[in-house]
Structure 1
Amino acid sequence: MTATDSRPGAEHDVDEGVSRSIATSLRDAMDRLLAGRPQRTDGRLIKDNLWKEADVSRATMNRAHRVMAEWDTRLAECGAFTPGEARKNDELTRLRKKLADQTRTCTDLQHQLDAAATAIAALHHDNTLLREELDRTGNLIVIR
């Protein structure tokens, strides 16, 4: 049950705190901001943009208690991100995962390279020792 202001033409909803047209303007602005289609602001989901987008004063917006409660609820539902910000965050998450996967791959390859270098060094050392032993004990035959 809502009471309306008795002033002519006011259509002031006491439960709302502002006129129906102001509440409608604020809700339309909220819908535009949440949809990522701002007309008067940069689109960030902040109260400063809400009153500017609705083309009302901050004080008027603050009197619209029901609209502000809706704003808080809807922001909580969407995580306070515009669709563009959400896409960017998703892309950033995807790229971070890809970077982590590539970093793991590089680390694995570096371990394989280190193991191969160790094996090559050990084989080179054994080869050198065998050549020295052959020099001491017999003739070295070169195979062409």
Structure 2
Amino acid sequence: MSDTGVSAKTEHRLRDAMDRLLAGKPQHSDGRLTKNNLALEAGVSPATMFRAKAVLADWDAHIETHGSLTPGEARRDADIDDLRRQLGTAKREITELNRRLTAAATVIAALHHDNTALRGHLPGQGAVVALDGHRASTRPEVTGPR
């Protein structure tokens, strides 16, 4: 047994397991960055792992510096944050478009009301005339080349 509290073979197994977990490539655990998964990944008992003080110091230093998220979890969280930003932007755009739509509907209703009132002031001239029939009857006949 070395001065690390465990045999060199056990320390090697723990360091290999730590490398796999930190790289996001677990073989024997769910990949979460926990000490229980470190022991499980290395194939040693938690008691044996806790005797490996040097390995645990390196583990704790890495977790303190980089956090306890696996690369996949970090990507997932970044994707969620990005989707939340996109959703917020889309909601703001929808709110603005709904405001414009309401304003346009109000203007259209007012114009319709004014149009109806104006037609009421022009008796007999408010009828709708089909332009195709009107144009055909008033169009001069064109003869010869243009």
The TM-score range, normalised by the shorter chain, is 0.7 to 0.9
**2:52 counterpart of 1:67:** no
Once the two structures are TM-superposed, the CA of residue 78 in structure 1 deviates from its matched residue by 2.4
Distance 1:21 1:111 in 2: 69
| Count, aligned residues | 129
Is the contact made by 2:119 and 2:126 (CA closer than 8 Å) also made in structure 1? no
**2:114 counterpart of 1:129:** no
Paired residue secondary structure (1:18): coil
Structure 2: which amino acid aligns with 1:109? L
Once the two structures are TM-superposed, the CA of residue 142 in structure 1 deviates from its matched residue by 2.7
**2:28 counterpart of 1:40:** yes
**What whole-Å deviation, never above 9, does each CA across 1:27-68 have from its counterpart, x for those lacking one?**
111110010111111111111110010111100111122211
Computing the radius of gyration over CA atoms, which structure comes out larger, 1 or 2?
2
Match of 1:86 in 2: 74
> What runs of 5+ residues in structure 2 fail to find an aligned partner?
130-146
Structure 1: which amino acid aligns with 2:117? L
How do residues 1-144 of structure 1 correspond to structure 2 at under 5 angstroms? 10=1, 12-13=2-3, 16-134=4-122, 138-144=123-129
Identical counterparts, % of pairs: 52
Once the two structures are TM-superposed, the CA of residue 139 in structure 1 deviates from its matched residue by 4.1
* Root mean square deviation of aligned Cα: 1.7
Distance 1:90 1:33 in 2: 20
